[in-house]
Copies of this chain bind each other. A is one copy, B any other.
Amino acid sequence: MPRGLLIVVSGPSGVGKNTVISNLFSYSPNLKYSISATTRSPRQGEIDGLNYFFLSDSEFTKRIAAGDFLEWAKVYQHYYGTPRSYVEEMLTGGFDLVLDIDVQGAALIKKALPEAILVFLAPPSLNELKLRLMGRKTEMESEIMLRLQNIDKELHAVPEYDYFIVNREINLTCRQIEGIIQSERMKVSRQAPDFLDKIFQDE
């Protein structure tokens, strides 16, 4: 069973990341969503072990101490983290994992697991992004301004990423990410050390 790939997807708010990721599963049948752990309470309809692993504060901090997070962060009183054991179990099982995380989290993931593939999604233009954010109508203008200011910080992180995709059209972007997964699978550096033996064992 070849080891699965960890695909980390980041991009500015409004770029269409959630839509791309939720569509990606129909392009990549081997792909699973990387489930994060959190100490915040489950919202209506959220299921433990499906949307999140819901942990108590003491359990979370215990796991931090045990080194069981590839990355973690505390945001407004609540912990969020990527469980190392879960990711490892999935990759060993041959599943690819997609992880939706911000640029700080992505950098920590790459440091903890250099095999991770970092994909940055960008909007076709900054104007387009503004239009998309304003089109949501769920956010106040001050919030939109805050998100736009955040973009500058995010762009400075792009050189740390492996791939850069301009999200012009959801299906094209999904096919491009699926293409990256397929190509990464063919990398010599990702083959098991004995892969040549398997091909040439019949002599």
Contact = CB atoms under 8 A, between A and B. Distances in A.
A120 to B, nearest CB: 7
A49 interface: no
Contacts of A195: 164
A202 interface: yes
A199 B162 contact: no
A195 B203 CA distance: 50
A186 B163 contact: yes
Name the interface size band of chain A. Answer: 20 to 34
Interface string A138-162: 0000000000000100010011011
Contacts of A163: 183, 186-188
Interface in A165-203: 165-166, 176, 179-180, 182-184, 186-188, 191, 195-196, 199-200, 202-203
A11 to B, nearest CB: 12
Q: How many copies does the complex hold?
A: 2
A126 interface: yes
A106 interface: no
A93 interface: no
Contacts of A165: 186
Contacts of A200: 125-126, 151, 155
A31 interface: no
A126 B199 contact: yes
Given A126-B199, A200-B125, A188 B159 contact: yes
Given A179-B183, A186-B164, A188-B162, A125 B196 contact: no
A127 interface: yes
26 contacts: A120-B188, A122-B196, A122-B199, A123-B199, A125-B199, A125-B202, A126-B199, A126-B200, A127-B202, A127-B203, A155-B196, A155-B200, A162-B188, A163-B187, A163-B188, A164-B187, A164-B188, A164-B191, A164-B195, A165-B186, A176-B183, A179-B183, A180-B183, A180-B186, A183-B183, A183-B184
